[in-house]
Chain A
C-alpha cells in the first residue's frame, strides 16, 4: 500500500471525475459536492480495505454509488406527488392513434454508433437528460448510470415496479424523441 500522503493525493486526484459522476445522477452541484466529500472521507478512513485492489477509480466509484443512493433515499423522504408523476404515461399517447398504431412511424437512425465519436453528441445527450422531469430522470439514471436493478430503484424511491417501468418508459421515449430531433433528425446521413 502506498504511504498515506501519497494515497491522499491519489484520492484527491479523482475528485473531478467523481464530481461529474455524481452530478449526472443528482443534477445538483451542492448535493454532488456533499456526496463526493463523504466518499473521499470514507475512502481515507477505509484506506486499508483498498489494499490489494487494482483500480482506485473503480473502488471510489463503488463507494460513491452507495453515497448517492443514500442521498436519494434521504431526499425521497420528502413528500412526493405520485399522481403527478404517473400522469406522464399518457403524454406519449398522442404518438398513437385510437387503435394504438403509430401516427408517425419512428424512422431509423443511420449508423448511430458514429455519434460516439463526436464530443458534441454527448453535450446534446446531457441537454436531453436535463430536459427530463426530476423523478423520471432520477429513476432512469439510477438504472442506466448507477446500473441498479429495477427492484432496487423501486425500493429506494418507494414506488411500485409498475410505476418504475412507467418512469423508465417515459425517460426512454422522451430521450429518443429528443435525440431524433436534436441529433439524428435534421442531419444528412451522408455528412456523418
Chain B
C-alpha cells in the first residue's frame, strides 16, 4: 500500500510520464479513498492550467 508521501510524488510524475498498469491501479485505489491526495492531484493539474493561462494572459494586450 502506497503512503500519501509516495502518492504525492507519483501524482506529480503523472504530469510528466505515462504510468504502467500496476502503478495506475495503485494510484487510483489510493486516490479513491484519500481526499488529501485527491486534492493535491487536482491542484497540480490546476497549476498546469494556471501556467498555461499565465502565458496566454501575456498574449492578450487588453489585460
Residues of A within 8 A of B (CB): 17, 20-21, 24, 57, 92-93, 95-96, 99-102, 105-109, 112-113, 115-116, 119, 121-122, 125-126, 141, 143-145, 150, 164-165, 168-169, 172-173, 175-176, 179-180
Which of chain A's residues have a CB closer than 8 A to the CB of B51? 125, 141, 144-145
Which of chain A's residues have a CB closer than 8 A to the CB of B37? 102, 106
A-B pairs, top 6 by smallest CB distance, nearest first, are A100-B3, A105-B36, A100-B5, A144-B51, A169-B12, A96-B5
Which of chain B's residues have a CB closer than 8 A to the CB of A144? 47-48, 51-52
Query: How far apart sit A179 and B36, CA to CA, in the bound complex (Å)?
Result: 16
Which of chain B's residues have a CB closer than 8 A to the CB of A175? 47
Let me know if A101 and B4 touch, CB within 8 A: yes
Chain B contributes a number of interface residues (CB within 8 A of A) equal to 33
The reply on B33 being an interface residue by CB < 8 A is no
Q: Which of A20, A102, A168 contacts B36 (CB 8 A)?
A: A102
Let me know if B50 and A100 touch, CB within 8 A: no
Closest Cβ of chain A to B3, distance in Å, is: 3
Which of chain B's residues have a CB closer than 8 A to the CB of A126? 54
User: A100-B3, A100-B4 are known contacts. Are A119 and B13 too (CB-CB below 8 A)?
Assistant: no
Query: How far apart sit A112 and B63, CA to CA, in the bound complex (Å)?
Result: 20
Q: Which of A20, A122, A165 contacts B13 (CB 8 A)?
A: A165
Closest Cβ of chain B to A131, distance in Å, is: 14
